Amino acid sequence: MTGPVRQAAASVAGAAIVLFARLVTAVRGLWDGIEPVPRQRVYYANHTSNGDFVLIWTVLPPSMRAMTRPVAAADYWLTSPVKAFVGRDVFRAVLIDRRPEDRTEDPVQQMAAALDAGASLILFPEGTRNTTEAALLPFRTGLYHLAAARPGVDLVPVWIANLNNVMPKGEVVPVPLLCTVRFGAPLHLQVGEAKGPFLDRARAALLDLAEGEAR
């Protein structure tokens, strides 16, 4: 496809994905301590389904959706031409190579470059889907290094509720259920704050949203 045709196809596909997500999940965006305004942010969320970033992307207002890019695994999104089109053209994902021994680009530098270009990001600091009974897996260090590299950018905790029941692992057909996406107050890396305390604080902010969802 030529450039304009590809862009038009990506726009149509994006609108269809948003409509499908809303029909299946009746997803609601709940803004607690933060407003849905077009400000550059890093949305960091719990990760239980391949559809997680789709729900966050779906509930953002169109002006915010247009500037927001998910951080996703290249080894998943580049396995077929269709996935590559959706990942690169529809979502404009920052595609990260999860093989440290083979990759040629530093993931934090990739994310920082996207921020420098004006994008907001959707990031999953657990690094992989949580299929355990625990509310969250331990956070990997990428969120800390990104916060240190770009300390002025808001880090917004986001709790996604119920999507793991809509799209259980291994299932292809979604089960229609109500889902919510709850946004919390933004965080920043404090001056002199070490990696461990920062990640503990960021993780606690996400768990606080989960507890609020349960009430």
**pLDDT score of 145:** 97
Average pLDDT, consecutive stretches of 10 residues, N- to C-terminus, the chain (215 residues): 82 91 86 91 91 90 94 88 92 88 87 97 91 89 96 96 56 59 96 96 95 64
Would you state the pLDDT for residue 214? 55
Tell me which amino acid residue 153 is.
V
CA angle 198, 199, 205 (to 5 degrees): 90
Give the up-direction half-sphere exposure of residue 11: CA atoms within 13 A in the CB hemisphere. 8
Sheet holding 180-183, edge to edge: 28-31, 180-183, 154-161, 41-45, 120-123, 68-73, 94-96
Model pLDDT, residue 135: 86
Tell me phi and psi for residue 22, to 5 degrees: -70, -40
At residue 179, the pLDDT reads 83
What dotted CATH number matches 3-214? 3.40.1130.10
Alpha-carbon distance 184 to 33, whole Å?
Answer: 6
Structural domain boundaries in the chain: 3-214
Predicted local distance difference test score (pLDDT) of residue 215: 56
